[in-house]
Structures are given as C-alpha cells and as structure tokens.
Amino acid sequence: MMPQRLLSDVIGSSHNSGVCVGVGTVNGREADIANTINARKIKNGKIKSYFKLIRPVNALMMGLAVVVGEVAILGGVPDAIKILSGFLVSFFLTSAAMVINDIVDIDIDRINTPDRPIPSGSVSIKSAKLYAAILAIAGIMSAFPLSAYGVPLAVITFLISLAYNLRGKKAGFVGNMMVAYCVAVPFLFGGLAVAETIDIKISVFFLLAFLATTGREVVKGIADMEGDQIKGIATLALSSGPKKAALVAAALYLSAVALTPIPAMFGILGVWYSIIVAVVDIGFLYSSITILRRQDKKTALRVKKETMIWMLLALLAFLFGGLFS
C-alpha cells in the first residue's frame, strides 16, 4: 500500500496540475481575445492614418466646389452622375496632392508635426507613394463621364499639383499661380461637367478665382517674409520688396474686379449676381487700398483673410445668379 503522506502528495499534485491546466486554458483564451482586440486597434489605426493623410476636410471642400460650380453654371441641379463624377475628380486629385505633400515634407513634418501619419511611422513612404498613385488614377478615371475635356484636364491638374509639391513651393510667383490654378480648377471641372464647353460664364468664374487667389498668395508672401526667408522661398515680397508685392496683389485683385461685370453685360446671370458681386467688388477695392497703404505682417494677414470672404461671396453671386436668372 502507498503511504498516506505519499498518497496525499500525489492527490495534491493531481489537483494542482488540474488547476494549472484550467488557468492555462483561460489565460490562453484571454490572450487570443486580447490579440484580436489589438489587431483590430492596429487595423483601425491604419485606416485612420490613411484617412488623415488625405486631409479629408480639404478634399471634401474641393469636391463640393465642383458641385457648386455645376449648379452655378447650369442654373439648376445636374443629374446624379455629373454630381458624383465632378465631386470624385476633385476629391481624389486633392487627396493625391495632400499625400504627395506629406511625402515631400517628411523632414519638416518630423520637426513641426511628428504625429502626422508618415513621420510617426503609421504609414511608410512606400505605402504613401502607392496610395497617392491610386488616388491620382481614381481621380483621372472619375473624369471620364464629365466631357471630352474631363480626362485631359484631370491629367494636367495632377501634373501641376505634382510640380508644385516637388519644385513649386520655392518658386515664388510661379508657385503662387500653381496654387491659384489648383484652387480655381474645381469650378472649371464643374462648368465642363454640365456645359461640355468653355463659355463666358465658366471663363469668368475660373479667371476670377485664379486672379483673386494669386493675389492672396502674394499677400501671404508679405505676411510670411521672415519664415520664407529662412526656408529659401523666393516670394515677390522677398525678391522685389513688400511694396512691389503689394502693387502686384492689388493689380490682381482689380483685374478680378474688372471681370465681374461681363456676365451681367451678356445677360447670362440674374439680378442676384449683380447685387452680390457689387459687394465683392467693394471688398476687393477696400483690400487693395489697405495692402497698398501698409505692408506689415498684421495688415497682410488681415487682407489675406478678407480675400477669402470676398471669394466666398463671389461664389454665392455665381450660385444665386445662376439659380435665379
């Protein structure tokens, strides 16, 4: 017979072993659950990083600008295909430009915004390049339903945004015009989507946005002189002086103002256009006088902000003028 003490030890060992196996099983299941949760968190984090990379608010606003352009030019609500195609072209191309911007600016972002997806390591440069290519192709493909001009315009727009990100940022006035084109082109897409040709209304709409934005970028150069000098950006304010830069900005604003009577002269927009655009003209005149009088940083920043208000009002002028013509 087995001694009582030894028997107790064996029984105790069996119980202990049983308990250990049970705990091990529970711990294993908990580990599996924890791993699954962590995997989901990592996956969700990746999705958020890719979403953050495109700067969705910017992309959304540019997409909506095309839709507004469609409504303004058509004078009504276009069909769903035109709305969707126009929106997606601008949304995807803007998204691609934002990703390329972060790829190019990675060294700066490591210092200024280390939490951005690329410098933080959430998205690799290789993945970001592939992502940008997919977005650009999606934008160009979305242009097919617009018109015969849709795809060529999408390709040109992407190439200009690419050139700006790679070289144009330090190109001064040329860079200003690149930015202005990218801001104004959604309205061109919108017009071509519904009119399928470049008429007076589309031309004025595009040129007004282009000239006003170029002027705004020149004024921005006056405000950012100190930082731009450190970065080696050859703005007009640095190369020719703030006074000459102010003259150029004012000339661009006044050129935009000179275009505003054309739609009314041809009777292609209603009375609401004339009423609202009169306020726009006064606003641009006021901003021009302001920047010509003073070129300090505070004044330049104020004029830069004012320009956005006048441009928004101009957009409303075209929108209401088209809807109620």
- CB of 75 within 8 A of CB of 99? no
Q: Which pLDDT tens digit goes with each residue over 91-117?
A: 999 999 999 999 988 887 888 788 889
Mean pLDDT, the chain, whole residue set: 84
**Chain Cα centroid distance, residue 134:** 17
Give the Cα separation of 246 and 268 in Å (integer).
Answer: 33
For residues 194, 132, 105, 60, the Cα torsion angle rounded to the nearest 10 degrees is: 40
Task: Give the residue extent of every domain in the chain.
Answer: 53-198, 200-325
Q: Report which DSSP code applies to 3.
A: -
* pLDDT of amino acid 4: 45
More confident residue, 43 or 52: 52
Helix, strand, coil share of the chain (percent; to 5): 85, 0, 15
Residue whose token pair is 């339903």 = 145
* pLDDT of amino acid 240: 93
The CATH T-level fold of domain 200-325 is Four Helix Bundle (Hemerythrin (Met), subunit A) (1.20.120)
- CB of 46 within 8 A of CB of 122? yes
More confident residue, 32 or 71: 71
Tokens of 254: 């006044």
* pLDDT of amino acid 208: 92
Q: Is 261 exposed, middle or buried (0-12, 13-18, 19+ CB in 10 A)?
A: middle
DSSP 213-230: HHHHHHHHHHHTHHHHHH
Give the Cα separation of 262 and 255 in Å (integer).
Answer: 12
* pLDDT of amino acid 283: 97
pLDDT tier for residue 319 given thresholds of 50, 70 and 90: confident
- CB of 314 within 8 A of CB of 277? yes
Residue 298 backbone dihedrals phi, psi, to 5 degrees: -60, -45
* pLDDT of amino acid 36: 59
More confident residue, 163 or 40: 163
pTM for the whole thing? 0.78
pLDDT tier for residue 5 given thresholds of 50, 70 and 90: very low
Give the Cα separation of 61 and 150 in Å (integer).
Answer: 19
Describe the crossing of helices 200-223 and 297-323 by its angle, rounded to 10 degrees: 170
Give the Cα separation of 78 and 183 in Å (integer).
Answer: 22
Q: Is 151 exposed, middle or buried (0-12, 13-18, 19+ CB in 10 A)?
A: middle
One-letter amino acid for residue 270 of the chain: G
Give the Cα separation of 98 and 133 in Å (integer).
Answer: 12
CA distances from 115 to 52, 76, 112, 151 (A): 11, 43, 9, 35
The CATH T-level fold of domain 53-198 is Tetracycline Repressor; domain 2 (1.10.357)
Give the Cα separation of 47 and 45 in Å (integer).
Answer: 5
DSSP 261-285: HHHHHTT-S-HHHHHHHHHHHHHHH
